Structure 1
Amino acid sequence: MIVELSHRIVEGMITYPGVPGPTLGVHLSREDSRKVYAEGTEFHIGVITLAANTGTYVDTPHHRYPDGPDLSQVPVDKLADLPGLVVRAGAGREVRIGGDLDVRGRAVLIHTGWDRHFGTDAYQHGHPYLAPESAAWLAEQGAALVGIDSLNIDDTPPHGERPAHSILLKAGIPLVEHLTGLAALPDEGFRFHAAPPMVSGMGTFPVRAYAVVA
């Protein structure tokens, strides 16, 4: 079974406050293509302009650190076909992870349920986030990737500190934010995929995140 874990990208959608929504256009319309191809043959070639942090996207170390691996440099085996683990967040905004969980080599997906607010004003305020101490624990324990179904893996106060980003990306652990559909996954027993295109010089990009459940 394949479980979809990404938000649909549509014209003008707002993912994060201050980040513009995407615009969709046409490079070659079906009507114009009829002038180029044989009779009865037509094609459509679209154009999209979007900020890299749109929809469900991956952060690579280059997003935070100028000398960190970018989208083209992170090996695909750190982004796809990873054994997955879902951590169900409890009450409260700060999510804590630790104890005897086996996270080494796994995609650790934090299920908060905040995705239910995606596309509304409520999504941008009071969102759940990962405790900095838990980010450090995940790095120490060798998690392969960390994802969350919330606005940000960090709290987003006005002073702009981002400890979870800093800790995890420094350790070479990609992050996937704005996931959805984690409620449909078992706690484990699935493979997680979230590979972006290989764009040189960029640190973030939308992904088609999904899980294959055994």
Structure 2
Amino acid sequence: MTRLIDLSHTIEAGMVTYKGLPAPLICDHLSREASRANYDAGTEFQIGRIEMVGNTGTYLDSPFHRYADGEDLSDIGLERVVGLPGIVVRAPDLQAIGADRFEGRNLAGKAVLIHTGWARHWRTDAYFEDHPFLTEAAAAFLVEAGAALVGIDSHNIDDTRTRARPAHTLLLGAGVPICEHMRGLELLPDAGFRFTAAPPKVKAFGTFPVRAFAEVAA
């Protein structure tokens, strides 16, 4: 028996994920009331419409997000984002998370989820400022260690106070997908679970929201 733990934020109209990017617009394309004209009495449907950028809520970055010739969402095979053996690395006391946090751990082929606790600031101004991030050395270590996917419950896996993006550059350059804006990592064991974060199969698109979750033995 397993239990499922949701690791993704709810997408809501007007929600700001990243300052400077538009919030999603969620509305009816066809309302229930308007649909009644198309069906027999007592039958109605709603067709929803959403307008949003790919970087909304909890999302997965594919290499195409960083590299024009990189794999896009449609190129990422399910085996790379579904049922991955997972490991949680705890770093609640750090802003700059270095390679030393990952040393001595078997990371090869695993979804490496970095628990910073920053998700507690979600939907507040504090979420965007002085957030935890991976150093360039840490990203290089994860690539060398063979991580299959890297996730973090912070505003960005890189330090947004600068214009450089070494974690995205190194990880996506090595074909390692990134899952950002996660939540609930405090509910996971340090290891021994399966992780899934599958995006829709969209061509020529680099980033899209996912329903990230873990399967944990009950």
Q: For the superposition of Structure 1 and Structure 2, which TM-score range results when normalised by the shorter chain? A: over 0.9
In 2, Cα distance between the equivalents of 1:62 and 1:78? 15
Q: What is the alpha-carbon root mean square deviation over aligned residues? A: 0.9
Deviations 1:140-186 (A, max 9, x none): 1110000000000010124x100000000000000000000000000
Structure 1 residue matching 2:208: 3-state secondary structure = strand
Q: After the TM superposition, which segments of 4 or more aligned residues of structure 1 sit over 3 Å from their partners?
A: none
Structure 1 vs Structure 2: percent identity of aligned residues? 56
Structure 2 residue matching 1:48: 3-state secondary structure = strand
| Per-residue deviation, 1:5 | 0.4
Q: TM-score when scaled to structure 2? A: 0.96
Aligned positions, number? 213
Equivalent position of 1:14 in the other structure: 16
Structure 2 residue matching 1:6: 3-state secondary structure = coil
More divergent stretch after superposition (180-189 vs 25-34): 25-34
In 2, Cα distance between the equivalents of 1:109 and 1:98? 11
In 2, Cα distance between the equivalents of 1:125 and 1:154? 12
In 1, Cα distance between the equivalents of 2:24 and 2:92? 34
Equivalent position of 2:95 in the other structure: 93
Deviations 1:54-94 (A, max 9, x none): 00000000000000000101111111110100000052201
Asked if 1 retains the 8 angstrom alpha-carbon contact of 2:92 and 2:117, the reply is no
Residues 146-161 of structure 1 correspond to what in structure 2 (within 5 A)?
A: 146-158=150-162, 160-161=163-164
Equivalent position of 1:112 in the other structure: 116
Q: Is residue 210 from structure 1 mapped to residue 213 from structure 2 by the alignment?
A: yes
Deviations 1:4-50 (A, max 9, x none): 10011101001111011001111111112111122221110000001
Asked if 1 retains the 8 angstrom alpha-carbon contact of 2:93 and 2:116, the reply is no
More divergent stretch after superposition (22-31 vs 54-63): 22-31
Q: 2:125 aligns with which of 117, 121, 125?
A: 121
Structure 1 residue matching 2:16: 3-state secondary structure = coil
In 1, Cα distance between the equivalents of 2:161 and 2:124? 19
Q: TM-score when scaled to structure 1? A: 0.97
Question: Where in structure 2 are there 5+ consecutive unaligned residues?
Answer: none
Question: Where in structure 1 are there 5+ consecutive unaligned residues?
Answer: none
| Per-residue deviation, 1:98 | 2.9
Structure 2 residue matching 1:77: 3-state secondary structure = helix
| Per-residue deviation, 1:195 | 0.5
Deviations 1:87-130 (A, max 9, x none): 00052201123321001110000000000001100000000001
